A and B are shown apart, each in its own frame.
Chain A
């Protein structure tokens, strides 16, 4: 974007909004909105506390385990569904139900099943992320041109080789797109799970800050979370870009 002939960097709008926030905060209109400067100061303060560091560790651990399960199960399941009609028939309906279902409603049930601890959070992350990963992997496998598979067969490739050298590589752009959306959903899952369980990780902190009306810290924590989700998404997006040269050219 250019303004009066000057190039405005992308993040400029963020600064403008932060300024507006600061003004509103300084005017002391409502206690919900403290000045941005106070939030940032609280943020620096926050990241040095033991409770935040522990919460972060717990959160990252649940997220990583949940995502690893979602990818480790979701990608193979999606690939199988794309290749084998009967597997597609068995799981197709369920995947489509769960991908659009309001999964937050299930968390209380998960709490009963898995207890008030990390296991519930891991399962929540898994359930939030896995379905879209399955669906995208399936879509990627289904669009592999039949002639490419025929080509590999005609040159003597085994089923395993066709899977490894043709189908997985060809479906990679969709698989990665699914993982990127899965990661974003997984972040939602970990936060929603923790808030609903309310005794671990960021959920505990959110509970603590909102109950004590500590709005600076509340917002600081929110901003840290938003930034983390964006950074994660950008990392996967970057990996996607590297293989886009052929995805776009198919």
Chain B
């Protein structure tokens, strides 16, 4: 277990080594009118790893994720994906939304295949791929249901299957489990780890839950609020071969949770 010392004013993100970065965030700043949401963020995201952006509300973590997704323009700085600067959404990135963003008029099958439909793929082909991912997220048998017939947890599985179906290199997840109840959340986190293992993709994950971040992440980027800056980068190095319940009781896991909490507590009212 290696944990960097926490919450220092002089923390230098450049000191953190990242191999084979698939996404590079270079000097990104964002202003909303006179409000400074993000101040010169420099970050690199390693291919095949799950990196979490963690911070209190108002730290701009969702804004940063949306800038990486190309959904929100940055005021200055640039995003480089696979070595190319990007200014808008692209097929190498897929987004999972906090409120699921499912089309209520479309079945699970059409929702999951929607990314492929927009690419102009023929119906038979996209339905075949969609069915595969519906099965992978554990929703087989629900292909012809509509979103309102599903629970919150199942709806987010649809959102995740849709993101997987387009076969993007990078998956951007914006607090995907915040609208899911606690029991399902844990199950979800375990499923997410299984999918990370299986799909070998890069995940950028936004959450405000410290436990969730430590449990699922290879790397945690701590953001401080108003304006959002990188305040620390932590590699939890949790042994994920252990059984999930043992991980949650592991002293190393609990130590990281505690240290992050100590680093963030002065932001809490």
Contact surface of A with B, Cβ cutoff 8 Å: 145, 147-148, 150-157, 161, 165-166, 169-170, 172, 243, 245-246, 248-250
- Contact A161–B118 (Cβ < 8 Å): yes
- Contact B146–A245 (Cβ < 8 Å): yes
Q: Top 4 nearest A-B pairs by Cβ distance? A: A249-B148, A151-B101, A246-B104, A155-B115
- Contact B103–A148 (Cβ < 8 Å): yes
- Contact B104–A152 (Cβ < 8 Å): no
- Contact B94–A154 (Cβ < 8 Å): yes
The minimal Cβ–Cβ distance linking B90 to chain A, given in whole angstroms, is 7
Contacts of B66 in A (CB 8 A): 150
The majority secondary structure among interface residues of chain B is loop
The minimal Cβ–Cβ distance linking A31 to chain B, given in whole angstroms, is 56
The residue that A150 contacts in the complex, of B95, B114, B147, B148, with Cβ under 8 A, is B95
Q: Kindly count the residue-residue contacts between A and B in the assembled complex, taking CB atoms under 8 Å apart.
A: 64
- Contact A249–B147 (Cβ < 8 Å): yes
Contacts of A161 in B (CB 8 A): 118
- Contact B94–A169 (Cβ < 8 Å): no
The majority secondary structure among interface residues of chain A is helix
- Contact B103–A169 (Cβ < 8 Å): yes
Contacts of A170 in B (CB 8 A): 103-105
- Contact A154–B95 (Cβ < 8 Å): yes
Contact surface of B with A, Cβ cutoff 8 Å: 66, 69-71, 89-91, 93-95, 97-99, 101, 103-105, 114-115, 118-119, 146-148, 166
- Contact B105–A154 (Cβ < 8 Å): no
- Contact B118–A150 (Cβ < 8 Å): no
Q: Besides the contacts A156-B118, A166-B103, A249-B104, what 18 more A-B pairs have beta carbons closer than 8 Å?
A: A147-B98, A147-B99, A148-B103, A150-B95, A151-B95, A151-B101, A153-B71, A154-B69, A154-B89, A155-B118, A157-B118, A170-B104, A170-B105, A245-B146, A246-B104, A246-B148, A248-B148, A249-B148
Complex CA–CA separation, A85 to B148 (angstroms): 31
The minimal Cβ–Cβ distance linking A175 to chain B, given in whole angstroms, is 13
- Contact B94–A155 (Cβ < 8 Å): yes
Complex CA–CA separation, A155 to B71 (angstroms): 11
Contacts of A166 in B (CB 8 A): 103
The residue that A145 contacts in the complex, of B95, B99, B118, B146, with Cβ under 8 A, is B99
Contacts of B147 in A (CB 8 A): 249
